[in-house]
């Protein structure tokens, strides 16, 4: 069971990292004027926050 929790946490952290890279790209596109749907930035930030919340709940507040 403990290994399952660790695998789940690693997947969440990997997804957070991918979203952060995507957010960086979106910000570059915004500043160069190439981004048409600026709501994508807001959505990416919300997804990151949700995943971080899920991660902290699964750790039981150990990292707080």
Tell me whether residue 63 is in a domain: no
Distances in Å between the Cα of 35 and the Cα atoms of 16, 18, 44, 59 are 21, 19, 14, 36
d(CA 9, CA 33): 36
Q: What pLDDT does residue 60 have?
A: 78
30: containing domain: 2-56
Q: What is the pLDDT of residues 16-64, one digit of tens each?
A: 999 999 999 999 999 999 999 999 999 999 999 999 999 998 887 665 5
Q: How many CA atoms lie within 13 A of 34 on its CB side?
A: 6
Number of domains in the chain: 1
d(CA 54, CA 48): 10
pTM: 0.83
């Amino acid at each position: 069971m403990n290994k399952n929790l660790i695998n789940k946490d690693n997947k969440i952290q990997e997804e957070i990292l991918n979203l952060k890279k995507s957010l960086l790209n979106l910000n570059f596109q915004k500043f160069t004027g190439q981004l048409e749907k600026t709501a994508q930035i807001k959505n990416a930030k919300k997804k990151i926050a949700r995943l971080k919340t899920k991660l902290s709940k699964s750790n039981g507040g150990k990292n707080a």
